[in-house]
Amino acid sequence: MNGSRRHFLAATGATLIGGLAGCASAPTDDGAGGTTDSDATSDDTDGSTATTDTGGDGSLSGLEVAYETLATGFASPVDVAIPEAFGGSRRFVVDQPGRIWLHDDSGLQSEPYLDITDRVVDLNGYDERGFLGVAFHPEFADNGRLYLRYSAPRRSETPSNYSHTFVLSELTVDPEATTVSADSERTLLELPQPQSNHNAGAVAFGPDGYLYVATGDGGGANDEGRGHADDWYDAVPGGNGQDVTENLLGSVLRIDVDATGGVSGDDDRPYGIPEDNPLVGTDGLDEQYAWGLRNPWRLSFDGEDCYVADVGQGAWEEVNLLERGGNYGWNVREGAHCFRAGDCPTETPDGAPLIDPVLEYPHSGDGPSGVAVIGGHVYRGESIPDLSGAYVFADWQSEGRLFAARPSESRPWDIAEIPVADRDDGGANVLAFGRAPDGELYVCTSDRPIVTGSSGALNRLTGV
């Protein structure tokens, strides 16, 4: 890579830490898309821990994996999308300061695929805002539509004492192009964000063709304070996780990007609402699909199953299976445990259950532990047969290993720690995963908790 390009990319470097994730800046082709929580004030653990896989048929015990580094030098690669439209030959890496980089079979392209740095908030050092996710329409090869999720400076409907505006937008581009502009951008959704953290950022199409959009609880600590609604639970003030009427924060949203006008088609929404969304026709916001989430950092589909990783505050990290109308408990509960209380309800006043996670691990103790969960994918590839059918994920402080788990009848499922025997040029911190159409997994990493240079990398997961 020439010096001018390196200087241009390194100058955009920023960090992404604390309920999110943060990789690092300046893409180079290597020849072959976080996170301690700064507001953690937690209180309680009950001494239980996630367990490791102990063997048997389909055991993950003793399995090791490796990275094959495909590209390095990103500022903070927080997402990688691999559309089916190109058979997995194109990998689109979202870099937090505001660019998408295209890595294809010829290597990393010399110019950004898309540059929206002029539309994203300025980032400086530690920051959880930025360009956070991308999703390609299932029919992208025909319609050229893709969907961006980013943090913009405050727009007109965002109060002056709020941090920024959450933006979900649509672009229509030439599907075959290797560089595109944002000239066609159409804003679909804007949400006022009171604090700068807990922005989530994942966007993904489900098998039903609808777009699923993860939102954080608005930031700060404990889901309380400025911009956090009152809820039904008095033991902990707040918050947006348990509210479904005042705003769309702390939730997974579900919208129809192939329609307009809401449910009936007669309002001014630039998207449709699926008629079977759980709050349609009730006292709740129609976009809501599930709630009770704090900072869902990555969601992914495996057939009908949707895995949603939710970064905890100071004691527990969790992964949930998405259910229509599901309430995952924040800020009444952190994981399957009471939050800031010795005792707490397991259901809402109207009898709706607070759903326990399928996976959880503590911030300390024996067995798997960490500080901020990084959601992954179910492995469906062929290069690591022993991993087939397992959900692969990580903690931001990966400490040289990934996590994997298989479904079981009881919750939480057992978690196996999978050593990364060879990281190649990949970093020690994990930020995001991607899955190709052939089921193989890709991992975004960085080398330092605070990114000041260009330590971000895109890696392919391989066997040893």
pLDDT per residue over 300-345, tens digit each? 999 999 999 999 999 999 999 999 999 999 999 999 999 999 999 9
State yes or no: pLDDT of 455 exceeds 70: yes
pLDDT band at 401 (very low <50, low <70, confident <90, very high): very high
State yes or no: pLDDT of 30 exceeds 60: no
pLDDT band at 418 (very low <50, low <70, confident <90, very high): very high
CA dihedral 367, 22, 89, 215 (to 10 degrees): 90
pLDDT band at 127 (very low <50, low <70, confident <90, very high): confident
Number of folded domains that form the chain: 1
From residue 174, alpha-carbon distances to 61, 116, 177, 233 in Å are 46, 17, 5, 49
Domain with 256, as residue range(s), is 73-369
Q: Is residue 82 part of a domain?
A: yes
Q: Is residue 64 part of a domain?
A: no
Q: Is residue 325 part of a domain?
A: yes
Residue 235: CATH number of its domain: 2.120.10.30
Percentage of the chain lying above the pLDDT 70 cut: 86
Q: Is residue 108 part of a domain?
A: yes
Q: Is residue 422 part of a domain?
A: no
- Mean pLDDT across the chain: 89
Q: Is residue 54 part of a domain?
A: no
State yes or no: pLDDT of 239 exceeds 50: yes
pLDDT per residue over 377-399, tens digit each? 999 999 999 999 999 999 998 88
pLDDT band at 409 (very low <50, low <70, confident <90, very high): very high
State yes or no: pLDDT of 9 exceeds 80: no
How much is the average pLDDT of 221-250?
94
Q: Is residue 357 part of a domain?
A: yes
Return the ∠ at Cα 241 (arms to 291 and 411), rounded to 5°: 60
The answer to whether residues 47 and 441 touch, using CB atoms and an 8 Å cutoff, is no
Q: Is residue 286 part of a domain?
A: yes
How much is the average pLDDT of 269-291?
97
pTM (global) more than 0.75: yes
